[in-house]
Amino acid sequence: MASSLSSSFKLPVSTNSRPCYINTLPPELLREVFILSLPTKREWTDTSLLSISPLSLVQVCKSWRLFVEGVPELWQTLYIHRDNIASDCLENVGPGAGRFLSHALQRSISLSIDLPSYGLITSDVLSHIPWASLVELEIIEGKFSVDMALEILACCGNLVQCTFFMLGSPCVSELVLDGPVIVLNHLEYLSVTFGSAWFPVYSASSGAETSKKISPLFEHLELPALEYLKIRASMASIDIDLPLALLECQRDSQFPLKTLEFSNVLCNTQHLRDLLSELPTLTTLHLLHTDKRCCHQYPHLLDLLSFTNGIDETGEPIKNILPNLERLKVQDTIRCTELFTDQWDHRVLDAIESRTWTAGAYPYREVGLAQLKKVTIRWDGRRHSPPIANRLNNLRRAGLIMHHTVI
């Protein structure tokens, strides 16, 4: 029985079988094969530009070159990386990028420029890029300024995702000041890392950099679709005006922000609290630092978020400042006695425990961080006192996901 079944399902062997060459494939199938050959971002940065698709494909033969140049999907993503650019070819980057992206035929484009030490973002390069077609943009550039960023963003009306590694600026030029506010109706994701690793100027009292600020960038933007905002200083920087600049941007834009990350920026915590009070859609808040020379007063900010006067001037209960906050990450440095540090620990835990309060139940009718589900707190290498350890265990038993990493 088994032998008869196996014999009945044998495939016929053709005596005229010939190899199938790629050029004999239908154009639709060949198009899909070429699209599958596109490199990942890592492959772009790890290899030579000429050894990866689509540039490797156009070198095979004339027919392939003509075919590949007619497939816009192959030209929609370009990474300009420092490892792929010879120092004697820098002047060709702008024209070359323009020719590459022209084959995308006005389709959505993703562009990444990673040249931190070249100072390549010049008017010559800018003139060759089809900025209006960009939906994703990343620029890592050692001399990239706020003025340059605003000049580019003014041309990027369809941008959805943007990442800048740039210099800050104490102010912007008169040309930018006199220009119109830039409205980016589709921008949902914005990440800005700023500061100078070359010639920083430090404050003698705080140890923070004072030469660079990022607030001038937000003073000239409207971002009505923004959902994710990350602002990070490469080293601790003082930008007192940043929360106020963001507050004005929010009032003009009414963006539905869901995630806010602040890192290494020294600013007025009361102003930051005012900003957060205008962000009821926020679900994730990260307040971080990596510079141990500075204290950012983040525990005090948590006080302001959870310990509020429960009744406004009309006698109505005050609504929660962050009614939808689910994930909170806090990291700060406090140089003081062990007793004083324990007091700050208790203040942080008081704020976290406010998730279990109800209006009118615990003190002064505060409403607290009612929706909080996950917390990450970073402490230094000291051991927790028994009261602190007990409170952490109680929070965990109450259902809160606690990550109290030790640094």
Please give the model's pTM, rounded to 2 decimal places.
0.79
Residue 407: pLDDT over 90: no
Report the percent of the chain where pLDDT is more than 70.
67
pLDDT score of 328: 87
Look at residue 231 in the predicted model and tell me its pLDDT: 93
Number of H helices, E strands in the chain: 14, 13
Note the pLDDT tens digit of each residue in 17-28: 565 567 777 888
- The two most distant CA atoms of the chain are separated, in Å, by 93
**CA contacts within 13 A on the Cβ side of 332:** 22
Ordered by start, the domain boundaries in the chain are 77-311+320-403
Contact 235, 205 (CB under 8 A): no
Q: What is the dihedral of CA 66, 69, 74, 79, to 10 degrees?
A: 120
Q: Give residue-wise pLDDT tens across range 280-335.
A: 899 999 988 766 666 667 777 777 777 555 555 666 666 668 888 889 888 776 66
Q: Residue 315 has what pLDDT? A: 64
User: For residues 30 and 20, what is the distance between their CA atoms, to the nearest angstrom?
Assistant: 13
pLDDT for the residue numbered 202: 39
- Provide the mean pLDDT of the chain: 76
Q: What is the pLDDT of residues 338-383, one digit of tens each?
A: 555 677 778 788 888 877 765 555 555 556 777 888 888 776 656 6
The model's confidence at residue 112, banded by pLDDT at 50, 70 and 90, is confident
Q: What's the pLDDT score for residue 123?
A: 56
pLDDT score of 259: 97
Contacts of 266 (CB under 8 A, 6+ apart): 206, 208, 236, 237, 238, 239, 240, 294, 296
Fold of 77-311+320-403: 3.80.10
Amino acid at 398: A
Does residue 53 carry a pLDDT above 80?
A: no
